[in-house]
Amino acid sequence: MQILDKIKLPDDIKKLSLEELDLLANDLRNVITKYTLANGGHLASNLGVVDLTCALNYVFDFPKDKLIFDVGHQCYAYKILTGRLNEFDTLRQKDGLNGFPKREESEYDTVNSGHASTALSIACGMARGDIDGNIICLIGDGAMTGGLFFEALNDVLTLNKKVIFIINDNNMSISGNVGFINEYLKIVRKYGNEFSFLDIEMLNNIDGHNISDLIGKLKYAKNSKKTLVLHVVTQKGKGFKDAELNPSKYHSVGKENSKPTYCQVFGETMTELADKNKNIIAITAAMTDGTGLSGFAQRHPQRLVDVGIAEGHAVTMSAGLALAGKKPYVAIYSTFLQRAYDNILHDVCLNKLPVVFCIDRAGFVGGDGETHQGLYDVAYLGATPNMSIFAPKDGKELKNILVWAHEFDAPLAIRYPKSEISKDYTVHTPIERGKWEKIVSSDSKIVLISNGETLSSVCESAEILKSQGIDVDVVNARFIRPYDEEMLDSMKGKKLFFFEEYIAQNSLYAQALEKFNNEQDKDTQVYGVNIPNTAYAVASRKELLKEVGFDSDSIVKFIKSKL
């Protein structure tokens, strides 16, 4: 790393020759590959933009000029070149570097960005704010499948300000790109069509791995007085052969799971269900691989709909499928489903349509940090009419609810984490809407109530308490909405402890408090541990759970403090 070691800040890059810039790019790829494979993170997407990032730092004057990433998982080389080389080994570790741009981390990071299609909207606002410097958006071509990009494109034409937006065209989102925009960019790559109908100049088919050519085009853009588009063609995974051959697999890397995951169980069960029911349609938003639907796509390609990075459309389109008599299962990460809230409320819930929302990455997500935590889905889904919410305790219960859901005639949300299935339970009560089940029954006056993966820590805590002479009951409150009022009534006069891996709004704890307060019940004591409503930085899932008191030792300590 003879060249990279000389780079402390972007001004040092401007002193390099073209030959040294190519060597710098090689150094960057080596560092990114080494630490991303070790720590987990977004590998292929970052390797593809190394040369472009070098050229951007050579031409522009950051942080006076503003670079806005869309999406943020392209930022690793930029972080290294803006003074964070010595910290890069802490990538995605507790108290280490975030895997996305983060304003609190560096003045070079313009805006925190973990979701797609937002950059041009941010740029429109900054341009209207008369900032002193160039505004550059680095937009992955997958982000152009999101509607917000086109809303901003419509607005950028009304600006009397200059914005430079660079399309990083690697023919990929996380999975392969889909839809009209992908086909349009194929035409652009082949024939050099322009955004001429929008009166925006476009420089086409720039080789994203030719630093000399990139510098020339970027200097032209810098000196231009008008908004313009640079269409840069890159190879996802560039410089790492395995990632070049399988960019989808190496988009995000991490440790291999030794146990089955909820995602795997979901994908396998969906394929089995579709084998038996031709009306089942799976919908995803550029996340076929990430949601576990690759096998489904191979077995039932005509019944897997990937709409691109367009969660709102995915949800409203699923409402149309339900109206047509189909059974849609919409698989979207918790953090991304937030972007479709109005569609859930207006198009699915108010119409009481039988759409199944399969919410992956619910709860703490760990290494991806603030923008990806799935802590809010219960709060926002609990505020919609006609929605049922379910959290399976293990893989068998996830499979059971997916099977049960295909005959359920109303909206249903199933939330499950990005994790291995830590415990296989022996108790599996047939699913009935709004009904809970007892995992441990001892007629105790102390009842621990939880659901999902958190239930395993609660069961461990119950065993510790029993060894200390304290008997407790444990309830799997698998239906968050509607809750089991009959079972809750049977617990009157007891101490009830709720442990839930989501914020308190619309939680079972909040619902129980409301119920007993309305009934003026002063004999039932209700305690709750939910996730405090704050931002959670990069750390492992285990570290985050311990931080908020969800490890078994903390749970035991909390319960004993209330006895």
Establish whether 339 is a catalytic residue.
yes
Q: Kind of pairing, strands 479-481 and 388-390?
A: antiparallel
Amino acid at 219: K
**What does the angle CA 206 – CA 212 – CA 213 come to, to the nearest 5 degrees?**
25
CA 501/CA 497 separation, integer angstroms: 13
Establish whether 276 is a catalytic residue.
no
Among candidate residues 236, 303, 478, 495, the one labeled active-site is 236
Q: Residue 490 gets which letter from DSSP?
A: H
CA 539/CA 456 separation, integer angstroms: 21
Answer yes or no: are the C-beta atoms of 312 and 200 closer than 8 Å: no
Per the DSSP assignment, residues forming a β-bridge with 449 are: 475, 498
Helices (H) and strands (E) in the chain, counts: 22, 17
The answer, yes or no, to whether the previous bond of 71 is cis (omega within 30 of 0) is yes
CA separation (Å) from 135 to 14, 129, 214, 458? 19, 11, 17, 50
Answer yes or no: are the C-beta atoms of 29 and 53 closer than 8 Å: no
Among candidate residues 29, 217, 327, 339, the one labeled active-site is 339
Closest CA to 499 of 465, 443, 464, 549: 549
Closest CA to 329 of 317, 341, 339, 340: 317
**Would you call 129 helix, strand, or coil by DSSP?**
coil
**Would you call 439 helix, strand, or coil by DSSP?**
strand
Q: Residue 420 gets which letter from DSSP?
A: B
Among candidate residues 66, 105, 217, 311, the one labeled active-site is 311
Closest CA to 113 of 138, 96, 80: 138
Establish whether 236 is a catalytic residue.
yes
C-beta neighbour count of 2 within 10 angstroms = 9
Q: Residue 85 gets which letter from DSSP?
A: G
Amino acid at 344: I
Catalytic positions are: 236, 311, 339
